[in-house]
Structure 1
Amino acid sequence: MKYEPRERLQAVAGVHADLQRREMTRAERLARWAELLDNTPDNRLSTLSETEYQPAWARDAMRSAGSPITVAFGDAVLRAEGLQDDTYGEAKRFFELTDWELHQLVCSCHSGATVRAEAAARCVREILESRPGLFAMLLNALLIVGPPRSHIA
């Protein structure tokens, strides 16, 4: 193999170092996640237990080996986009999900201790295709800030 300086290779190959890679949109990240889940549709994935009953700090730290979030974190493309780990809070941040949306996807109250990858992919697509309704927004507000406090003076 013949050694060539980088400048020569760039000129020959037409490589341009100044080209910036475009970041994936939320929709593209979610679509990729659904595709990854669809690659093994019968795979049984771990769920997270009772996410809706956890305080926000505990919920954000929740994780389970072999969960739908772990499938996303196992993808080099999503990690290159900025997915930092396989916790509930990181999935919420990275995929721009509400607590209600992520609860629907990973909580054990919907499918038990495990969920089929195909069902998780379908849930991701439903999230991708829908806009949250009033009920979902109210429930998400309750999950985030908790019940209203009394302000009696």
Structure 2
Amino acid sequence: MKHQTIEQLQIVAEIDQAYPRQTMSRSERLERWAELLERNPDRRLSTLPQTEYQPANARAIMRGHDTPISIAFEDPVLRAAGLENDNYGEAKRFFELTDRQLHEIICYCHFGATVNAATAARHIRAAIAGRQPGMFARMLEAFVG
């Protein structure tokens, strides 16, 4: 998927920015994201490296091809609700996550270069509930995937 700014798109199409956004609660947005990932639970998705060590401005613009965030951005429902792109900062804003919560979902240090979609969905559901997956769940994910 090629990402373009609104200005770039306006050259080739008429853009109606007055289109009403679909209102979704934080829980509904996170639930939708988890459901999208669970549609293909064994899919391997890219992670983002060392999110916790990046300066805030660099972390905000981090993105990757075929990440859990890009899966959310591909969804027309989430885009209509206001998801503007597939970078870390936008996911943090749109899904109302803390850096720690998003780090648990997307960071390389937890999963390596890829994470399976079901695992990312579990971490998203933990964010909905306001908890982190336990140590046993982490160990199981490390050995089983």
Contact 2:31–2:125 (Cα < 8 Å) also in 1: yes
Superposed CA RMSD = 1.5
The higher radius of gyration belongs to 1
Report what 2:95 is aligned to.
95
Contact 2:48–2:64 (Cα < 8 Å) also in 1: yes
Report what 1:24 is aligned to.
24
Gaps of 5+ in 2: 1-19, 133-145
Q: CA deviation at 1:130?
A: 1.5
Contact 2:21–2:80 (Cα < 8 Å) also in 1: no
Amino acid at match of 2:90: E
CA distance in structure 2 between the aligned counterparts of 1:120 and 1:131, rounded to whole angstroms: 14
Report what 1:53 is aligned to.
53
Gaps of 5+ in 1: 1-19, 133-153
Residues 106/21 of structure 1: CA separation in 2 closer, same or farther (3 Å cut): closer
Percent of aligned positions that are identical: 60
Q: Which runs of 4+ in 1 moved over 4 A?
A: none
CA distance in structure 2 between the aligned counterparts of 1:110 and 1:21, rounded to whole angstroms: 34
TM-score (norm 2): 0.75
Report what 1:107 is aligned to.
107
Contact 2:22–2:81 (Cα < 8 Å) also in 1: no
Residues 77/56 of structure 1: CA separation in 2 closer, same or farther (3 Å cut): same
SS at match of 2:34: helix
> Where do 1:124-135 residues align within 5 Å?
124-130=124-130
